Amino acid sequence: MRFASLVLLCAAMLGAASAPASATMRISEDRGGQIGQYLQTFATVRSSGERVVVDGNCLSACTLLLGLIPRNRVCATPRARFGFHAAWMPDDDGRPVTSPLGTQALWNIYPHDVRRWINRHGGLTRRMIYMQGTDLHGVVATCGGERVYTARAERTTHVRSASRHARYRTRTARYTGGYSASDRH
């Protein structure tokens, strides 16, 4: 499992270094992992200019993207779900033990509005808490949903359809290119 994570990290770093600024990283089932690996991966993504689309679970260390990638380059589909918990490390017997240092590192990276949400939902503990649906509004933009939100205001952009009935549709963010990061474990 660690070898697979290392291979994916190297591939992500090599791909990001040669990827054009219009590339997109898609996260759909990322269960997290070691904080250091995510710090490296998201630093590479940030410097590459890539966009990040969250289209499913982004759990544990994956949530660091909320504090490491500029908000104007992150969006979430209606299926997006962020999962937060305290950092942990295995003890000598392999049992998980909460890491105060790792938990503080997570906390320091999360933006203020994410920390406020975490506090309102019980804080960073061993129990996973999930941010999804309307809780995401104002934290990340919606890409592929019915509404497009800016990071600070609920502003919807309407585009008149070609229909004779002058219906309105919401413009959604559309990204092309990119690679999948959904197989990280």
Q: What is the pLDDT of residues 17-27, one digit of tens each?
A: 444 455 889 99
pLDDT digits (tens, 9 = 90+) for 162-185: 333 333 222 222 322 333 333 333
Q: For residue 159, what are the β-bridge partners? A: 169
Side chain identity, residue 97: V
pLDDT digits (tens, 9 = 90+) for 90-131: 999 999 999 999 999 999 999 999 999 999 999 999 999 999
Distance CA 56, CA 59 (A): 10
The answer to whether residues 53 and 77 touch, using CB atoms and an 8 Å cutoff, is yes
pLDDT digits (tens, 9 = 90+) for 34-67: 999 999 999 999 999 999 999 999 999 999 999 9
Q: How confident is the model at residue 138 (pLDDT cuts 50, 70, 90)?
A: confident
Domains contained in the chain, CATH given: 2-180 (3.90.226)
What is the pLDDT of the chain when averaged over all its residues? 74
Through-space distance between the first and last CA atoms of the chain, rounded to whole angstroms? 7
Inform me whether the pLDDT recorded for 87 exceeds 50: yes
How far CA 35 is from CA of 26, 54, 104, 165, 169, in Å, comes to: 19, 18, 12, 52, 40
Inform me whether the pLDDT recorded for 2 exceeds 60: no
